[in-house]
Structure 1
Amino acid sequence: MMNHVTPFVSGFALSAALIMAIGAQNLFVLRQGLKGEHVGAVVLFFSLSDALLIAAGVSGVGVFLTALPKLATILTVGGALFLAWYGITALRRMTSTNAMSLTATERLSLGRAMVTGAAFTFLNPHVYLDTVLLMGTAASAQPEASRPFFAVGAATASFTWFAILGYGARLLQPVFTRPVAWRILDAVVGIVMLSLAASLVLSALNQAR
């Protein structure tokens, strides 16, 4: 039994360390949690997507992806465009003269929330770098029989974190009854998204050299 606990804990710890950094997925889940909008569906989608990518990394798909530089370039450019658009949208919300509150913020349909979540996940090369390549590399250091437990531990960290972030956001709802709080959040979202977009552009330029 203890032989299974160690790889599970290792996978959980590595995944938690990677996923808790401020990023596009986390900010989107936080915003949906604050609005109380499609929280369960968004949390489940991101968690299952992470689990799928972790399984792909552990099974060796990361090695396959590194052999397709053109695919990486396409994902990089597409991700940069999407993140830039989302960041600019957030900054425009921040400067809007309309009052913002939990009831007045723009509401997303379930379909649009899923499409946005898919874009944040599958158009972001950093997700493949962390979840597929890095997790796959770490898993390869484990004995073959232990790798499934490593993957389960990593996926469990994703489910745990997104659930805490999505459902725990309601604790901050009293703060976000004030428009200034939404402006600060949108400023953070805009800056993070544009920074990520810029890093992807730089990465694409380096790959082209």
Structure 2
Amino acid sequence: MLYDCRSPADRDRGIAAAIEAVRNGELVVLPTDTVYGIGADAFTPYAVKALLDAKGGRRTPPPVLIGSRHTLDGLVFSLPRAARDLVEAFWPGALTIVVKHSPSLRWDLGDDTGTVAVRMPLHPVALEVLRETGPMAVASANRAGQSAALTAEEARDQLTYSVRAYLEAGLGPDPLPSTIVDLTGEVPQVVREGAIPWAKLRDVVPDIVESRVA
């Protein structure tokens, strides 16, 4: 079902439907400040598996979206100073940080690396859903090898009946994906430059470097 969140009545119905779907272990598509995402409850392994199956292709662990900065403290054992500075400067927004997650977390994102990519998006619909559901595993809402969806309708064309609720909010403010910074090593590394350019990151964390890994 597709809900047009540009209509107040449909927005309320859509957000309620998405929250219910996530709590039931089903998939949803929601807008973010970059591209649309396909999401599931991060702590429901079969839901995360369904997300990876829906996308197809290589089974890369999905990032986790959260609805509050305070949620981050519950996901990590110790947050580096550089991570706190970047979060303070760019959250909510198009910055994904890779950090070591707390060993006590009971989740399965598809790969036991001990790390997780986390972001707090700057979109009212996404934040409203996330504040009710808690952390969600969210990947770009497209099949592997196809273009990222810029609307929920585009996502539905690719993902069809694998998703319970599609939340349409039109084109996002920035079609570029989020910038990803790895903060698990001694030196912060930009592993993907997206909506936030490297130069702006360097203003906040002067020792940040660009990764040599493609």
Q: Which has the higher helix share?
A: 1
**RCO higher in 1 or 2 (8 Å CA, sep ≥ 6)?**
1
Higher Rg of the two aligned structures: 1
For normalisation by structure 2, the TM-score amounts to 0.28
For normalisation by structure 1, the TM-score amounts to 0.28
Q: Which has the higher strand share?
A: 2
